[in-house]
Amino acid sequence: MGQPFEVHVDADGFPSRVTVSGDLDLDGGDVLEGAVAPLLSPGSRVEIDLRQVDFLDSSGLAALVSLSQLAEEAPAYLVLLEPSARVRHVMEITSTESLFSFAA
């Protein structure tokens, strides 16, 4: 595949911001869940910046869906910031866009 997966978490402000880059696949999905899940407390807002994600497979998508469900249960607000065209395409063809909130 392509770029190595990286996650940067800035939880110092409100909202918390998680910047993701590279390939969001099985390994990356586990890392992303591990980084974001602890931030999803009641009333929190977490933004996941997906602009630099080059590749998204079913495992990466499953991680995002899982985080969306955790946010709903908390309840917390999870928003995806500017997903790349490739990420949006995967969400469109899998009809999962409606599970997420998006922002620019």
CATH of the domain at 14: 3.30.750.24
- For the chain, the domain total comes to 1
CA 31, 102, 50, 65 torsion-angle sign: positive
Please report whether residue 28 resides in a domain.
Answer: yes
Q: What is the pLDDT of residue 4?
A: 84
Can you tell me the distance from the alpha carbon of 18 to that of 60, in angstroms, rounded to the nearest whole number? 15
Element (H, E) at 34: helix 26-36
Over residues 55-85, the pLDDT tens digits come to: 999 999 999 999 999 999 999 999 999 999 9
Can you tell me the distance from the alpha carbon of 4 to that of 23, in angstroms, rounded to the nearest whole number? 6
User: Model pTM?
Assistant: 0.93
Please report whether residue 44 resides in a domain.
Answer: yes
